[in-house]
Structure 1
Amino acid sequence: MGKKSTPEEIIAKLREVEVRLARRETAGQAVRWIRVTEQTYYWWRMEYGGL
């Protein structure tokens, strides 16, 4: 298990994924770039996506 990310780090990573998706990368490619699983990404998006 890796270190827990702070809410600020999570939000920054979610923004990075959004930028990559806008550049037409797949969700899988974008999520691998921020080094989390797709499951973690979707959970974070559900929890922090509205911020």
Structure 2
Amino acid sequence: MKKRYTEEQIIKAIKQHEAGTKVPDICRELGISEGTFYNWRSKYAGMEVNEAKRMKDMEAENAKLKKLLAEKFLEMEAMKDVLSKKW
């Protein structure tokens, strides 16, 4: 079963590690693999909760903008195809 953890929980786990708790103990407590913990650490190390939330919001906005840009490019290509055909 896949669980979703909040930024608060992830940052709390990283801070526990920084305070001296061993990685296997944290992973056992949360029910995650060590690889997952190290992925979290590489992404969230040194962040506070509000910074992590802001980063997540910015990633969502970035994805939305990329989707809009892709749609505009498709629209432009369709218009070029229509205009380039000889009637």
* Higher RCO (CA-CA < 8 Å; seq separation 6+): 1
Count of aligned positions: 46
Q: Which consecutive unaligned segments of at least 5 residues does structure 2 have?
A: 48-87
Contact 2:27 2:34 in 1 (8 A): yes
Task: State the identity as a percent.
Answer: 33
Superposition misfits of 4+ residues, deviation over 6 angstroms = none
Q: Which consecutive unaligned segments of at least 5 residues does structure 1 have?
A: none
Counterpart selection for 1:41 from 37, 42, 64? 37
Question: Equivalent residue for 2:6?
Answer: 6
Q: Quick one: which amino acid aligns to residue 2 of structure 2?
A: G
Give the TM-score normalised by structure 2. Answer: 0.43
Aligned alpha-carbon RMSD (Å): 1.8
Structure in which a larger fraction of residues adopt helix: 2
Instruction: Say which one has the larger Rg.
Output: 2
